[in-house]
């Protein structure tokens, strides 16, 4: 293991020691007994074993693997190669290789899909929020794509958007006098279509969360505003929008993280292609298909830092607003 | 004047309904087409391309209405994949609930050295994106000799730091008096956990179980990574239904209608769960959002 990983483990142990001392010091106040503690440990034990094995170990290992040339089929032949993986990634970035495309496509997807999906969800929530005849039907209709898994959604659209005149959508287009489209085989269309179908699939879920947020805004506020002569638009701007702020930020963070993980849709709809490869898909391809565990771990480390820091910034903003 | 406003209101309402209907069509038409196509042979599907009838189930030839489903069940034995998925989901959800709720209980109601650290660690681990550790996780499972066996699918998801955290937050608010009364009556810690903590926390258990089930049922990539693809030589395959969709789509003789029938079958259990547990799903997502 390299010094960097060892250092991190040392920091980890130090934090553990400090926390344990803190607990022991504090425990005087609870008249703490060892039998009581032991019971606590026993309840914690199954989860702890699994967490160490399958959650912490992968994180620690990726910190180590990222600096090695680990090839999956040669687990006894791992060499520390310093920052070589990272320098090849920088080279890839400047030479517009796969990492460049994966990064670009992932950011593009996040930049367009997240606002689109949230805007659609908010619009739908506002539409169905008011009790109307048949409102239940519309709510179910807008929510219905959520019930399908990403794999099912992707296969469904793959068949509907066949790139020949046999496809459902192309058949309709031909009837309207529009030439047959390439859809997922067309580098200019594929990513935009993935954005559209992802927003279509996911918006219903955020609509439900927005509806819960709308329910929490007091009716009295709207009535008071109406008495003051505010119109619908003004009440929306001054009551609905501020009332939905915390929930919007929560939705923003969760949608943002989900978007950064995009993988199943390009996998099923286009396969491994320059114009739709994403960071998660690249990690999968390098680490699992090509078995270059070291290189894949280096990418994973960069992605973790990138997404993790973006999330932390958003959390910070969220706390400020709250 | 009064008549004017009523007319305006009526017009406005008509417009809103029209707008919502257009949206409803946009959200529903792929699913409607999937259901309709699943009842048709490919000859019919392709002869109807570009016509409205492609959205209507097979009314021209009722005798083949369920033919695609029958072929999936007999020729492709899709029920095996459905059974696999059911078993994996049931095992993981039950196991995860037990493991996570026990840990949540320990963190909510016990004082032991290292607790502060564990709580902090769990909150930190929630933030780490799982997808980025999927390759090291694969090497671990590979080295344990679990790849190619169902244990690779069954064991790692038995723990979820997020569920532990949710359970902990919920258990903290179980009144101490309830526990103490039970202990006075001679109950052990295990009995307190089962009869007091779990018994008073049914809604959160239902919420976590439902969300967990949906996640496991829909999992696609991990099973494909660690399980062998169905061989087609008659052995019982290990793939769950989602992963099997990929195999089915690659079969040379399979028809579009049969794929649509498979997609429908893969979705039916989810429709049931969403319909039965909608209260818990909405609660789970909205409370997570408000807190």
**Where in chain A are the domains?**
3-65, 92-321
Residues of A181-196 as b/e, b for ≥16 C-beta within 10 angstroms? bebbbeeebbbebbbb
Q: Does A82 touch chain B (CB under 8 A)?
A: no
**Residue B197 neighbours by CB under 8 Å, 6+ apart:** B101, B105, B109, B171, B174, B179
Q: Exposed/middle/buried for B52, CB within 10 Å: 0-12, 13-18, 19+?
A: exposed
Closest CA–CA distance from residue B150 to any residue of chain A (Å)? 16
CB contact under 8 A, B136 and A200: no
Q: B138 is written with which tokens?
A: 């694969």
pTM: 0.90
CB contact under 8 A, B290 and A213: yes
CB contact under 8 A, B103 and A46: yes
Write the DSSP string, B225-271.
HHSPPP-SSSSPP---HHHHHHHHHT-TT--HHHHHHHHHHHHHHHH
Whether the pLDDT of residue B290 is over 50: the answer is no
On whether the CB atoms of residues B200 and B214 are closer than 8 A, the answer is no
Average pLDDT over residues B228-247: 90
> φ and ψ at B4, to 5 degrees?
-55, -50
Average pLDDT over residues B25-43: 94
CB contact under 8 A, B27 and A54: no
Average pLDDT over residues A285-303: 94
Whether the pLDDT of residue A1 is over 80: the answer is no
Closest CA–CA distance from residue A248 to any residue of chain B (Å)? 9
- Chain A residue with Cα closest to B44: A166
Q: Is A229 left (phi over 0), alpha (psi -120 to 50) or beta?
A: left
Fold of B77-251: MetI-like fold (1.10.3720)
Alpha helices in chain A (DSSP H): 3-27, 34-51, 57-65, 84-94, 98-129, 135-143, 150-160, 168-175, 190-215, 219-227, 232-235, 241-260, 264-269, 279-284, 293-321
Closest CA–CA distance from residue B252 to any residue of chain A (Å)? 15
User: Shortest CB distance from B116 goes to which of A23, A32, A208?
Assistant: A23
On whether the CB atoms of residues B105 and B167 are closer than 8 A, the answer is yes
- Chain B residue with Cα closest to A76: B143
CB contact under 8 A, A301 and B34: no
**Residue of B135, B214, B250 to mutate, interface with A, max A Cβ within 10 Å:** B135
Using pLDDT thresholds of 50, 70 and 90, give the confidence band for residue A60: confident
Q: Mean pLDDT, chain B, as a whole number?
A: 89
Residues 131-150, chain B, touching A (beta carbon < 8 A): 131-140, 142-143
Distance of CA A277 to the CA centre of its chain: 16
Which pLDDT tens digit goes with each residue over A75-101? 888 899 989 999 999 999 999 999 999
Q: Does A72 touch chain B (CB under 8 A)?
A: yes
The number of C-beta contacts closer than 8 angstroms across A and B is 271
Q: Does A305 touch chain B (CB under 8 A)?
A: no
Q: Does B218 touch chain A (CB under 8 A)?
A: yes
Which pLDDT tens digit goes with each residue over A158-194? 999 999 888 899 988 998 999 999 999 999 999 999 9
Q: Does A93 touch chain B (CB under 8 A)?
A: no
On whether the CB atoms of residues A286 and A296 are closer than 8 A, the answer is yes
Share of chain A above pLDDT 70, in %: 95
CB contact under 8 A, B245 and A247: no
**Where in chain B are the domains?**
2-72, 77-251
- pLDDT for B48: 86
Angle value at C-alpha A241, between A240 and A246, nearest 5 degrees? 105
Q: Does A140 touch chain B (CB under 8 A)?
A: no
Higher pLDDT among residues B111 and B7, named by residue: B111
Q: Does domain A92-321 bear CATH number 1.10.510.10?
A: no
Q: Does A14 touch chain B (CB under 8 A)?
A: no
CA distances from A8 to A64, A127, A264 (A): 10, 51, 33
**Residue holding tokens 């859809």?**
A183
Which pLDDT tens digit goes with each residue over B171-212? 998 888 888 888 888 888 889 999 999 998 888 999 899 989
Whether the pLDDT of residue B95 is over 90: the answer is yes
Whether the pLDDT of residue B2 is over 60: the answer is no
Note the maximum CA span of chain B.
81
- pLDDT for A27: 60
Which pLDDT tens digit goes with each residue over A218-249? 888 888 888 888 888 888 888 888 888 888 88
């Amino acid at each position: 293991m390299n010094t960097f990983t060892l250092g991190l483990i040392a920091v980890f142990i130090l934090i553990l020691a400090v926390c344990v001392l803190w607990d022991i010091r504090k425990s005087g106040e609870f008249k703490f007994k060892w039998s009581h503690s032991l019971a606590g440990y026993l309840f914690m034990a199954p989860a702890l074993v699994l967490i160490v094995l399958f959650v912490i170990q992968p994180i620690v290992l990726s910190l180590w693997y990222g600096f090695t040339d680990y090839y999956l089929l040669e687990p006894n032949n791992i060499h520390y190669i310093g920052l070589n993986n990272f320098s090849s990634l920088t080279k890839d970035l400047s030479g517009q290789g796969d990492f460049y495309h994966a990064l670009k496509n992932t950011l593009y997807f996040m930049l367009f899909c997240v606002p689109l999906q949230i805007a659609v969800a908010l619009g739908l929530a506002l539409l169905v929020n008011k009790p109307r005849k048949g409102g239940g039907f519309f709510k179910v209709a807008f929510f219905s794509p959520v019930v399908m898994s990403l794999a099912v959604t992707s296969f469904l659209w793959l068949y509907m958007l066949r790139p020949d005149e046999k496809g459902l959508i192309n058949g309709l287009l031909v009837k309207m006098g529009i030439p047959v489209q390439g859809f997922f085989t067309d580098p200019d269309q594929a990513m935009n279509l993935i954005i559209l179908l992802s927003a279509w699939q996911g918006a219903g879920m955020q609509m439900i969360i927005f509806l819960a947020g709308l329910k929490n805004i007091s009716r009295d506020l709207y009535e008071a505003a109406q008495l003051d002569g505010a119109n619908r638009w003004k009440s929306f701007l001054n009551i609905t929008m501020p009332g939905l702020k915390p929930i919007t930020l929560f939705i923003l963070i969760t949608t943002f993280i989900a978007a950064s993980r995009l993988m199943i849709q390009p996998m099923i709809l286009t396969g491994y292609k320059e114009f739709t490869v994403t960071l998660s898909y690249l990690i999968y391809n390098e680490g699992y298909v090509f078995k270059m565990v070291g290189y894949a771990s280096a990418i994973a480390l960069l992605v973790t830092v990138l997404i993790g820091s973006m999330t932390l910034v958003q959390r910070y903003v969220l706390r400020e607003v709250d | 004047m009064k008549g004017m406003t009523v007319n305006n209101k009526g017009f406005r309402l008509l417009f809103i309904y029209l707008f919502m209907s257009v949206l409803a069509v946009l959200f529903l038409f792929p699913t409607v087409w999937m259901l309709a196509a699943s009842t048709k042979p490919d000859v019919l599907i392709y002869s109807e391309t570009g016509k409205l009838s492609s959205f209507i189930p097979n009314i021209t030839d009722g005798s083949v209405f369920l033919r695609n489903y029958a072929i999936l069940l007999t020729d492709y034995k899709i029920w095996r994949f459905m059974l696999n998925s059911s078993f994996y989901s049931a095992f993981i959800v039950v196991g995860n609930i037990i493991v996570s709720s026990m840990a949540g209980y320990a963190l909510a109601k016990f004082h032991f050295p290292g607790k502060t650290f564990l709580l902090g660690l769990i909150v930190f681990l929630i933030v780490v994106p799982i997808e980025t550790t999927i390759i090291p996780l694969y090497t671990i499972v590979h080295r344990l000799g679990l790849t190619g066996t169902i244990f690779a699918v069954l064991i790692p998801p038995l723990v979820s730091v997020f569920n532990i955290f949710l359970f902990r937050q919920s258990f903290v608010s179980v009144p101490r008096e309830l526990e103490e009364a039970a202990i006075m009556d001679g109950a052990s810690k295990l009995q307190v956990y089962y009869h007091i903590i779990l018994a008073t926390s049914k809604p959160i258990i239902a919420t976590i179980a439902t969300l967990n089930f949906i996640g496991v049922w829909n999992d696609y990539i991990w099973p494909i990574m660690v399980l062998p693809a169905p061989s087609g030589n008659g052995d019982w395959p290990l793939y769950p239904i989602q992963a099997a969709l990929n195999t089915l789509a690659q079969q040379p003789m399979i028809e579009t209608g049969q794929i649509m029938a498979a997609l429908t079958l893969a979705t039916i259990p989810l429709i049931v769960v969403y319909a039965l547990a909608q209260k818990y799903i909405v609660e789970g997502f909205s409370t997570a959002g408000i807190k």
